[in-house]
Amino acid sequence: MKKILMAAAAAVFAVSGAASAETTVKLAFIDALSGPFALTGERGLQNFKFAADYFVNNQGGIDVGGENVKFEIVGYDGAEGFPSPKKSTLQAEKALGAGATYILQGNSSGVATAMSDFVAKHNRRNSDNPVVFINYAAVVPALTNELCNFWHFRFDAHADIKMEALTDVIAANESVKTVYLIGQDYSFGQAVAAGAERMLAAKRPDIEIVGNELHPIGQVQDFTPYARNVKASGADALITGNWGGDMVGLGKAVLEADLGIPVYTYYAAADGITGLFGEAGVGIISQVTEGWGPNPTEEFQAYHAAYKAELPDSDINQPRIINAVGMLAQAMQDAGSTNPKDVAYALENMEYESMLGTKVFMRGDDHQAFQNVYIMTHTNEGLPTNSEGAPLDFDNSGYGPLATSTVEMASMGIETTCEMERP
Amino acid sequence: MDWGFITVTLLDGLARGLYYFLVSAGLTLIFSMMGVLNFAHASFFMLGGYFAYIIAQEWGLSFWIALPVVPLIIGALGMVVERYGLRHVHKFGHVAELIFTFGLAFLIQEFVKLVFGSDTKPYVKPELLTGSLFTIGDQSFGSYRAFMILVSISIFIGLYLLLTRTRVGIIIQAALTHPNTVSNLGHNVPLIFMSVFGVGTALAALAGIIALPTDALQPGAAARLGPIIFVIIVVGGLGSLNGALVASMIIGILTTIFDASQLSVINVMEAVTNMLGIEWSLLERPTYELRRLMVGDLIMMSTKQVGALFPYLLMVLILIFRPQGLLGKRES
């Protein structure tokens, strides 16, 4: 009798084993993979692929409602020279045709705004085959305010959240009396400048903004004239949202001009920038960002070591990608479904314990993630290490970001003008 | 604005214009001789930077070794491209040649990505030239920029003497306009073409070596410079070396001035109304509010935006009013 039962049980298991089909969820990564901003895109793709392997594929897949699910990440080039909204949405159509149900995009808020719009329209017309837009980097505040939509989720802190943190630090520094702003002339650069003007006026009305310049994105050959203007203005601090080649050029010019003032940035790290600044940037360059904080968790230390073992020349330059993939996998398991609509509902108001040592809260009202934000300073001393004992540096240069201030769950209660329409 | 600021800005512009000239000189000579617009020209500029970076920093040899050696290597590479690529494609006509150079540009870009990676390389100035040469007011002028100016001017003088004072130069000039006659006189015209192509690419490489430490050494470097160089040879007059120099100076200096000046429509409005003693509430608002106005983009428009457009605007105007270029001779 016992034998028969066991045989029956074995048979049942065998059947259910055969029934548990393997599903591959296709995620389309659409960002600049050519042109002057290609590096930022390529690094993003590497980070997504590594995170997908770590959370899902190397675990033998995840169990979603009895199905074994694996992630496949496919890269699409969204640049025509520069990151292009038109090309990116065309690529998105191509990706959807190839069976993608999630879109991963982040470089350039201009592209992200077009992508969010594209996804909303697509889902209205194809309510049976919706797609979710995972925005891992585009930080123009409008995307989770007046331009918000249900299918868009932002995993990075937006420009105003970062500017709140940055202006807190600047406001606390009594020696700063004048500030100079330089940015790229498009929605994101304008948002950074606007945020800085507004928040400094509120927190430190005595601070004077002595320069507020926007330059065409990716077209300035030499930033020396800009650095000369900063010098001539006698500013006590420089704030810039520049990224990619525009940050490299500006950084070089600023360090060459030997301004001797703090330079507060959004993106002056990794992708060759840290290695380039080296000793000259110490005590000058700092960055407001999400990340691993001053005391990284053991899990992250091991993750970092595994990443460097697989991709020694690459860096975890956008740590939020870890959260985006981890939370997506978690949401699928919670929902018991890989259907983008079910997953979107599961992502709403999710609280996630990240290996980065922060809780991540995906607010349902506007689909904005809230998390710890740090002011990180470029240095080669006192950097935390990974589980192999190697410093958490960038570009294998020995220099890297060290968290000097922490804002826990930054701007958690910040208001939103989003009026979410749910399907 | 003080005189120190103006002086250093003009010198910055001079340095920029001169390195534009180094790149465009080769391009314009190659065009006038072979009738080929070499789309891969800026790629040799980029290769110059990468090779110099490898020699000077990765291998730990000196910048001063890379400076003469790299142009020789790239020049030889250019000759190989002409001899075994372009000359072969030549018999299929200009379109084939154009497509060949276009493809070559992509090939070099992908090669650079594959071999060196897509990140920005920390290519820096040589130790000797990191300081500043002089300081006016609070603005200092780096000795490296002075070095850039010096190298470019000596190359121009050398090139000018070579073309006008030597036998080789006279043959080249003749081959520019009457290749068949020169060939009938017993000169080896294909060899002249190959040498000119080699010298042109070597000059582009030299420009890359000296200019890229002040810019960003990455696979996008060629794509950023390429359009400007085409504008310069069109404005200067295709095939005219003097024209290329004049156009390089105009574009280099004026774009630098545009980058350095802080004029915008709103600034001018403010200055004018202040002069007239009119108080205007619009001017009191913070910049971010102004940008949101319906005419925001217009009143916030600054010389920075115009500066980026300026070279192309100049090219369009030249093509309309003086199609042969500033110093060009040809009517077609």
Q: What residues contact residue A182 under an 8 Å CB cut-off, 6+ apart?
A: A211, A213, A214, A215, A226, A230, A238, A239, A240, A242, A250
Does residue B316 belong to any structural domain of this protein?
Answer: no
What pLDDT, on a 0 to 100 scale, did the predictor assign at position A9? 52
Does residue A176 belong to any structural domain of this protein?
Answer: yes
What pLDDT, on a 0 to 100 scale, did the predictor assign at position A20? 57
Highest mean pLDDT among A20-29, A117-126, B132-141: A117-126
Same domain, A123 and A219: no
- CB atoms B291 and A271 under 8 Å: no
Q: In terms of pLDDT, which residue wins out, B34 or A199?
A: A199
Number of H helices, E strands in chain B: 15, 2
Residue B253 at interface with chain A, using a CB cutoff of 8 Å? no
What pLDDT, on a 0 to 100 scale, did the predictor assign at position B135? 85
Indicate if the pLDDT at residue B190 is higher than 90: no
**Mean pLDDT along residues A314-336:** 96
Indicate if the pLDDT at residue A13 is higher than 60: no
**Mean pLDDT along residues A167-185:** 93
What pLDDT, on a 0 to 100 scale, did the predictor assign at position A56? 96
Does residue A6 belong to any structural domain of this protein?
Answer: no
Instruction: Give the max Cα distance, chain B.
Output: 79
Does residue B214 belong to any structural domain of this protein?
Answer: yes
- CB atoms B122 and A272 under 8 Å: yes
Same domain, A110 and A230: no
Does residue B317 belong to any structural domain of this protein?
Answer: no
Nearest chain A Cα distance for residue B76, angstroms: 27
- CB atoms B9 and A245 under 8 Å: no
**Mean pLDDT along residues B229-241:** 90
Indicate if the pLDDT at residue B118 is higher than 80: no
pLDDT digits (tens, 9 = 90+) for A228-247: 999 999 999 999 999 888 89
What pLDDT, on a 0 to 100 scale, did the predictor assign at position A80? 86
Quote the number of domains for chain B.
1
Same domain, A130 and A179: no
Nearest to B117 among A211, A249, A313 (CB): A313
The CATH number for A110's domain is 3.40.50.2300
> What is this model's ipTM?
0.83
Same domain, A260 and A196: yes
Same domain, A349 and A379: no
Mean pLDDT of the residues in chain B: 88
Indicate if the pLDDT at residue B183 is higher than 90: no
What pLDDT, on a 0 to 100 scale, did the predictor assign at position B157? 92
Nearest to A278 among B12, B122, B256 (CB): B122
Residue range(s) defining the domain that contains residue A145:
17-157+298-372
Does residue B202 belong to any structural domain of this protein?
Answer: yes
Q: In terms of pLDDT, which residue wins out, B190 or A131?
A: A131
Residue B262 at interface with chain A, using a CB cutoff of 8 Å? yes
What pLDDT, on a 0 to 100 scale, did the predictor assign at position A15? 44
A18: confidence class by pLDDT, cuts 50, 70, 90: very low
Does residue B279 belong to any structural domain of this protein?
Answer: no
Same domain, A283 and A308: no
Contact A246, A369 (CB under 8 A): no
Write out chain A residues lying below 8 Å of B12, CB-based. 222, 224-225, 228
Residue B88 at interface with chain A, using a CB cutoff of 8 Å? no
- CB atoms B224 and A256 under 8 Å: no
Does residue A31 belong to any structural domain of this protein?
Answer: yes
What pLDDT, on a 0 to 100 scale, did the predictor assign at position B262? 82
**Mean pLDDT along residues B16-43:** 89
Nearest to A276 among B122, B223, B228 (CB): B122
Same domain, A254 and A383: yes
What pLDDT, on a 0 to 100 scale, did the predictor assign at position A399? 96
Same domain, A199 and A284: yes
Chain A residue nearest residue B124, CA to CA: A276
Chain A residue nearest residue B253, CA to CA: A225
What pLDDT, on a 0 to 100 scale, did the predictor assign at position A77? 95
Indicate if the pLDDT at residue A255 is higher than 90: no
pLDDT cut 90: percent of chain A above it: 81
What pLDDT, on a 0 to 100 scale, did the predictor assign at position A6? 54
Residue range(s) defining the domain that contains residue B51:
3-262
Mean pLDDT of the residues in chain A: 92
A5: confidence class by pLDDT, cuts 50, 70, 90: low
Does residue A4 belong to any structural domain of this protein?
Answer: no
- CB atoms A228 and B9 under 8 Å: yes
Chain B residue nearest residue A80, CA to CA: B223
**Mean pLDDT along residues A163-167:** 94
Same domain, A210 and A317: no
**Residue B121 β-bridge partners:** B217
Question: Considering just the CA atoms, what is the radius of gyration of chain A in Å?
Answer: 22
Write out chain A residues lying below 8 Å of B220, CB-based. 35-38, 245
What pLDDT, on a 0 to 100 scale, did the predictor assign at position A19? 46
Does residue A422 belong to any structural domain of this protein?
Answer: no
Nearest chain B Cα distance for residue A132, angstroms: 29
Contact A230, A254 (CB under 8 A): yes
**Optimal mutation site among B2, B118, B306, interface A, most CBs of chain A within 10 A:** B118
Same domain, A70 and A133: yes
Taking the C-alpha atoms of residue B186 and residue B195, their distance in angstroms, rounded to an integer, is: 17
Same domain, A151 and A31: yes
Does residue B239 belong to any structural domain of this protein?
Answer: yes
Chain B residues 169-208 with CB within 8 Å of chain A: none
What pLDDT, on a 0 to 100 scale, did the predictor assign at position A240? 97
Nearest to B308 among A42, A219, A257 (CB): A219
| pTM of the model as a whole | 0.84
The CATH number for B184's domain is 1.10.3470
Measuring CA to CA, how many Å separate B328 from each of A39, A65, B238, B312, B324? Answer: 40, 74, 6, 18, 5
For chain A, the straight-line distance linking the first and the last C-alpha, in angstroms and rounded, comes to 53
- CB atoms B286 and A224 under 8 Å: no
Taking the C-alpha atoms of residue B35 and residue B39, their distance in angstroms, rounded to an integer, is: 12
Does residue B47 belong to any structural domain of this protein?
Answer: yes
Does residue A361 belong to any structural domain of this protein?
Answer: yes
Same domain, A275 and A381: yes
- CB atoms A232 and B5 under 8 Å: yes
**Optimal mutation site among A228, A273, A274, A277, interface B, most CBs of chain B within 10 A:** A228
pLDDT digits (tens, 9 = 90+) for B88-98: 998 888 889 99
B332: confidence class by pLDDT, cuts 50, 70, 90: very low
Chain B residues 39-58 with CB within 8 Å of chain A: none
Q: In terms of pLDDT, which residue wins out, A35 or A405?
A: A405
Nearest to A39 among B2, B119, B259 (CB): B119
Highest mean pLDDT among A391-400, B220-229, B292-301: A391-400
**Mean pLDDT along residues A174-195:** 93
Q: In terms of pLDDT, which residue wins out, A355 or A20?
A: A355
- CB atoms B224 and A229 under 8 Å: no
Indicate if the pLDDT at residue A203 is higher than 60: yes
Q: In terms of pLDDT, which residue wins out, B275 or A373?
A: A373
Quote the number of domains for chain A.
2
Does residue B278 belong to any structural domain of this protein?
Answer: no
**Mean pLDDT along residues B167-172:** 88
- CB atoms B218 and A220 under 8 Å: no
Residue B139 at interface with chain A, using a CB cutoff of 8 Å? yes
pLDDT digits (tens, 9 = 90+) for A52-86: 999 999 999 999 999 999 999 999 999 987 889 99
Report residue A415 as tokens: 């208001």
